[in-house]
Amino acid sequence: MMTDDKCPFCNHDAAVLENELAYARYDIYAVSEGHMLILPLRHVSGFFELTMDERNAVFELVDQAKLLLDEKHKPDGYNIGVNVDEAAGQTVGHVHVHLIPRYKGDMDDPRGGVRGVIPDKQKY
């Protein structure tokens, strides 16, 4: 398995959930209570570089993480997102899927959801 000693996500000691090809951990820069990251075990920079087996393993853990968060935090909804490359906001060169629990009242008007990555385009 390819890892990078300098990559903060190649050490999966903080794993909350894990399978053969991926793991889930809480985001240390959480935007909401329970915000999780789901990552491949293999050090790979971009989402589109994942093998189909890795993608399936990652999204299997997205489902498991959702069940865990439903039980532990009882959110009212979720955002799921991946930043691919610097232009899209990726700051760590190890692909990771954000699973962000959402709670009624956490924003005045959440309409547009993930469109908020470009604030002027969120509302339509």
Mean pLDDT of successive 10-residue segments in the chain (124 residues)?
84 95 97 97 97 98 98 97 94 96 92 80 76
Distance between CA atoms of 96 and 47, rounded to whole angstroms?
A: 8
The confidence score (pLDDT) of residue 120 equals 77
Fold topology of 17-105: HIT family, subunit A (3.30.428)
Contacts of 83 (CB under 8 A, 6+ apart): 89, 90, 91, 98
Question: How do the domains of the chain map onto residue ranges?
Answer: 17-105
Distance between CA atoms of 103 and 78, rounded to whole angstroms?
A: 8
Both tokens of residue 113?
């959801």
The confidence score (pLDDT) of residue 1 equals 67
pTM for the full model?
Answer: 0.93
User: How many other C-beta atoms lie within 10 A of the C-beta of residue 101?
Assistant: 24
The confidence score (pLDDT) of residue 46 equals 94
The confidence score (pLDDT) of residue 85 equals 95
